[in-house]
A and B are shown apart, each in its own frame.
Chain A
C-alpha cells in the first residue's frame, strides 16, 4: 500500500522562487493536512482540508497556499520562498475510527531556501 506519498524528498530553492510540494494519498481519507517541523518547535499545522473543495488555515499559514480539487491530492504551494521557510514538511491524512482519528504521515520533504 502506498499510503501518503510526498514528493520531492529534498528541494533547494533560492529566495523568491516558487514551488509546489506534492502530497497524494490512496486511502480515500477525507481529512488531509500539512505540517512543518523545525528544531525546537515540533510540528506546526500549516493548512488542512476536511474534504475536496474545502481548506482552512492552521497555526502558521502565512506564505503558503493550498487547494483540494480531489480527495487524493493536497498540494502545498510556496509562492515566493523565504529562508524562514527552510524546514521539513510533512503531509498527513486521517480518517475516523469510532471516536478515534487515525493519522497517517508521509515521509517528509526537506526544503532549504537560500
Chain B
C-alpha cells in the first residue's frame, strides 16, 4: 500500500493570511494522481484540488494552489487570503494511475482560521 504522510495534525492561520499544509508520499510509481480533500464539520468530503504526477505545472484553483515536488515526493497545499469557511480538516490523498481506483489518504490536518 502507498503511504501518505501529513506531519501537521493542527494548523492555524489569521483570516486573510496565507497558510501552507504539508504532505509527503511514498511510491515507486511514475504515473499517479494527488488530491487535497476538505472535510468541514458537516463531515462531507469536498475535493479542493488535484494534480497529475506527469504534469510539471502546479495546479491552481482560485485561492488554492499546490507545490508539487515530484523528486522529493512532496505535495503541499497553499491557501491564500484565508477565509473563515476554510476552517476544516484537510486530507491529502494518492491514487495510482496503474492499479486504478484505490485512494490512499493521509491522517489529516485540522485548520483553524482566526478572525
Question: Which A residues lie at the B interface, using CB under 8 A?
Answer: 31, 33, 35, 40-45, 48, 50, 58-59, 88, 90, 92, 94, 99-103, 105, 107-108
State A107–B39 Cα separation when bound (angstroms).
Answer: 10
Q: Main secondary structure on chain A at its contact with chain B?
A: strand
Question: Which B residues lie at the A interface, using CB under 8 A?
Answer: 1, 4, 6, 9, 33, 42-45, 47, 50, 52, 91, 95, 97, 100-108
State A92–B43 Cα separation when bound (angstroms).
Answer: 13
State A7–B81 Cα separation when bound (angstroms).
Answer: 37
Chain B residues within 8 Å of A92, by CB: 45
With contacts A101-B33, A105-B44, A107-B44 taken as known, whether A58 is within 8 angstroms of B105 at the C-beta atoms is: no
Query: Do B97 and A40 touch (CB < 8 A)?
Result: no
With contacts A40-B107, A43-B105 taken as known, whether A100 is within 8 angstroms of B47 at the C-beta atoms is: no
Instruction: Name the residue of chain A whose CB is nearest to the CB of B44.
Output: A107
Query: Do B1 and A59 touch (CB < 8 A)?
Result: yes
State A99–B33 Cα separation when bound (angstroms).
Answer: 9
State A14–B105 Cα separation when bound (angstroms).
Answer: 29
Query: Do A45 and B43 touch (CB < 8 A)?
Result: no
Query: 5 closest A-B pairs (Cβ-Cβ)?
Result: A105-B45, A43-B105, A42-B107, A42-B105, A108-B43
Max chain B CB contacts within 10 Å: which of A43, A48, A59? A43
Chain A residues within 8 Å of B95, by CB: 101
With contacts A42-B91, A45-B102 taken as known, whether A88 is within 8 angstroms of B107 at the C-beta atoms is: no
With contacts A43-B91, A88-B43 taken as known, whether A50 is within 8 angstroms of B33 at the C-beta atoms is: no
State A107–B43 Cα separation when bound (angstroms).
Answer: 6
CB A2 to nearest CB in B, in angstroms, measures: 14
With contacts A40-B107, A41-B107, A101-B33 taken as known, whether A48 is within 8 angstroms of B43 at the C-beta atoms is: no
With contacts A40-B9, A42-B108, A88-B43 taken as known, whether A103 is within 8 angstroms of B103 at the C-beta atoms is: yes
